[in-house]
Structure 1
Amino acid sequence: MSRKYFFLLIAILFVSQGSYAQIVRKRTTLLMGGRFDITIVAKDSLLAEQNIDAVIAEITRIENLISDWKPDSQLSEVNQNAGIRPVKVDREVFELTQRAIRFSEITNGGFDISFAAMDKIWKFDGSMTAMPSAEAIRKSVEKVGYKNIILDSVQSTIFLKLKGMKIGFGALGEGYATDKCRDMMLAKGIKAGIINGSGDMSTWGKQPNGKNWNIGITNPFHPEKLLAVVPLKQDAVTTSGSYEKFVVFDSKRYSHIINPATGYPATGLCSVTVFGPNAETANGLSTSLMVLGKTAGLLLLNKYPDYSCVMITDNGKVVQSKNFRMKKFKARL
């Protein structure tokens, strides 16, 4: 399982604002190791810009708590003390870890926040000429295993039992941040906007002209084209995919998204887009579905009736979950 950046670009399609009372302001910045596009609808430019500043401050706060590449973050302290001692963390970090472990349990390790300890034996930069050996693949995941994460709810501590273990939230953390910022904006009376963290997107409200936000999903086989355009209100959408990073051995396509339970790359799907009320959950589902594959992935999704998905198989077949809500959705491969 690899950190997801822009493997499938999700574009926001704006329509003309006309002469409506509210305005749209958008800013792009780098946070949490990736790109964030922040769009706010407000009554004037000053209010919109002030709230964009507030969103950036909130994402920065979360990053300083859960970043596994910032040496002074709480998560880094947990990793630095693997096999040594439990580390007390803020309740926010503890509960995010709890939710991530639940995903690990329900997917039997297909999703695992301890993937950060995985050896990087797979290369997706064109340098690989042969598959790693079975022994090298087995060894690459020796330090991976959510069952070796010990949580103490009373003390609010996290302990990694094995030396060399690491946990990391990756794109799950980006989804969490977009949800938190949407909730914050709604609490402040900002009635519409989009927080897009490297393709993990939380939306709410409508455009100033009263129309829904239109989200364009990139075609994985023709990245310059859109697969479809989907209208959203107060929803979240996340995409996991491998069309930019993969290798082919013996005519079989291996995704850059690695199954942390086995060490082998995901196969069968090149793109999964999940829709639902919460970007954190949608991200966990989209990553898990890529790893589990079409059949097992749809069975998992059945446990989350508020979420739906569109999958694209390696051979170009479009698969929609039974509860997919967009009746007029038409994919154009």
Structure 2
Amino acid sequence: MTMMLKNKTFKFVLKVSLLVGLILLIKDQNGVFKKGTPMSESKILMDTIVKFDLCDDGHSMQQMKNAFDEAWKKFYDLESKLNAYDQKSELSKINDSFPDPIFVSSDSYRLIEASVNYYEKTNGAFNICVGPLIRMWKEAKKNNKIPSEQDYLKIRSAIDIRNIGLIKGGKVILKNKFTRLDLGGIAKGYAVDEVVKIFKQHGFDSFLIDAGGDVYASGFNCEGKPWRIGIRDPLNRSDIIDVVSVSDSAVTTSGNYERYYQIGESKYSHIFDPRNLMPQKSVISATVIAPTAQEADAFSTALCVLGEEEGFKIIDGYDNKFAAFIVLNNNDGLIEKKVSKHYKKFQ
């Protein structure tokens, strides 16, 4: 990811969805939901509102409850493991483990391994070794003073992705004592994908998961049509700038339009290019459609750094299941909307 600066646990770049086509909850006298009717639950997790919408096809209330319970249990478990701001979390233990290798859960191992792969796929724009950069800018804001060249020199080597070592058998080692991992740009996407597996294992084909805007739409909505996901206007939060129709796809938006670091009279993006350690300037928001929420999460963050030309080159290198929509602030101060090659397929 580019990494998004956070003030608290899992404060992610705001990502918003609009659900269209859901109908009222109806059940028969036997406690079985009529085909096509939805059931929803929501909780606050990972410092955001997480919502599950299931479209029933004849399951009992108990079957739906069992699916919800297992899904929430998984989300809670991942939150406890991947929270960089909880000293008891598995991620914090990894960050404090230098110079020794440490056994980690399969979730953490897979997620770190995937993150290293996204670093390669995004030409370094997605980098989970940005903990020192986040910490530096928090201090800069606190002291009301932009980081100095010396500050940058101190942390540069710690942000090298090669500081992560993955050892067969489930061990991770950090090779620089100042390296700190931050999974904020991918953890929610991973959690959403894990819940997708759970709902499908329970026999549900049509459902929607929204974890603060990391959205996955499975099958069709409760009226038998593709899910319609609204993309908020980054400059006017009460408006929808576009709507996409998706099925068995994830939609995630990253951006810097609501959160920033103000130092003196200047405002700095909370999204940084980990290649040069500088705040990005031109991309206001980036939306990515992908087969999995993890992919959409990582690529949307990376596109905020890469911009139109380099970012779309990566997205267009995949098949038509991948698409992107970005809002730019060009050099003239004008707002531009750009779409990738396959985006129109989803309109």
Instruction: Pick the aligned partner of 2:96 from 80, 89, 111.
Output: 80
Which moved further from structure 2: 12-21 or 87-96?
12-21
In structure 2, the residue matched to 1:14 is 21
* TM-aligned CA deviation for residue 276 of structure 1: 1.3
Q: Is the 8 A contact 1:236 1:278 kept in 2?
A: yes
Residues 254-286 of structure 1, C-alpha deviations (whole Å, 9 max, x = no match): 421112222211121101000011110111111
C-alpha distance in 1, partners of 2:163/2:121? 16
Asked whether 1:289 is paired with 2:303, we answer yes
- Distance (whole Å) between structure 2 residues aligned to residue 146 and residue 275 of structure 1: 26
AA in 1 matched with 2:48: G
Quote the offset at 1:142 in angstroms.
Answer: 4.5
Q: CA deviation at 1:201?
A: 1.1
Paired position in structure 1 for 2:29: none
How many residues were matched structurally? 326
Cα 1:271/1:124, change in 2 over 3 Å: farther
Mapped to 2, the partners of 1:176 and 1:87 lie a distance apart of: 21
5+ long unaligned stretches in structure 1: none
Q: Report the Cα distance in structure 1 between the residues aligned to 2:97 and 2:316, rounded to whole angstroms.
A: 38
SS at match of 1:240: strand
Quote the sequence identity (%).
24
Q: What does 1:152-191 align with in structure 2 at a 5 Å threshold?
A: 152-153=167-168, 155-191=169-205
- Counterpart for residue 31 of structure 1: 45
Following the alignment from structure 1 to structure 2, what is the Cα–Cα distance between the partners of residues 125 and 224? 32
Cα-to-partner distance string for 1:227-272 (whole Å, 9 max, x where unaligned): 11222211101110111123689x9974211122222111211010
Provide the residue aligned with 1:111 in structure 2: 126
1:57 pairs with 2:76:
no
Q: Distance in 2 between matches of 1:15 and 1:302?
A: 32
Please, what TM-score do these two structures have when normalized by structure 2?
Answer: 0.84
Find the residue that maps to 1:202 and give its secondary structure.
strand
Instruction: Indicate the SS of the match to 2:314.
Output: helix
Change (3 A) 1:52 1:186: same
The answer as to whether partners of 2:23 and 2:37 remain within 8 angstroms in 1 is: no
Range with greater deviation from structure 2 (47-56 or 212-221): 47-56
Residues 300 and 168 from structure 1, CA distance in 2 versus in 1: closer, same or farther, beyond 3 angstroms?
same
Task: Check 1:146–1:316 CA distance in 2 against 1; reply closer, same or farther (3 A cut).
Answer: same
* Contact 2:215–2:251 (Cα < 8 Å) also in 1: yes
CA contact (8 A) 1:5 1:199 kept: no
Q: How does 1:128-139 map to 2 (within 5 A)?
A: 131-139=146-154
Asked if structure 1 preserves the Cα contact closer than 8 Å seen for 2:125 and 2:305, the reply is yes
TM-score (norm 1): 0.87
Specify the SS of the correspondent of 1:94. Answer: helix
Q: Secondary structure of 2:108's match?
A: helix
Moved more, 288-297 or 204-213: 204-213
User: What is the Cα deviation at residue 57 of structure 1?
Assistant: 0.7
Letter in 2 for 1:117: P
SS of corresponding position for 1:326: helix
Deviation (angstroms), 1:128:
8.9
User: CA separation of 1:124/1:273 partners in 2, compared to 1, >3 Å: closer, same or farther?
Assistant: farther
1:303 aligns with 2:317: yes
Matched, 1:319 2:334: no
CA contact 2:289–2:322 (8 Å) conserved in 1: yes
Q: How does 1:247-262 map to 2 (within 5 A)?
A: 254-262=268-276
Q: 2:52·2:208 contact (CA, 8 Å) conserved in 1?
A: yes
Runs of 5+ unmatched residues, structure 2: 27-33
Question: Contact conserved, 2:234 with 2:284, CA < 8 A, in 1?
Answer: yes
